[in-house]
Amino acid sequence: MELDKIIRHLRPSAEFVIYGDTLEGLEFIDQSITKPTQAEVDAAWTTIQEAENEAAAEQAVARQALLDRLGITADEAKLLLG
- pLDDT per position in the chain (82 positions), as tens? 799 999 999 999 999 999 988 999 999 999 999 999 999 999 999 999 999 999 999 999 999 999 999 999 999 999 999 8
Question: Is 71 exposed, middle or buried, given 0-12, 13-18 or 19+ CB atoms closer than 10 A?
Answer: exposed
Q: Tell which phi-psi region holds residue 20, choosing left (phi > 0), alpha (psi between -120 and 50) or beta.
A: left
Span between the terminal Cα atoms of the chain, in Å: 33
pLDDT attached to residue 62: 97
The pLDDT of residue 14 is 96
Angle of the 38-70 helix axis to the 3-10 helix axis, nearest 10: 100
Domain boundaries, the chain: 3-81
CA angle 54, 56, 61 (to 5 degrees): 95
Alpha helices by DSSP H, the chain:
3-10, 38-70, 74-81
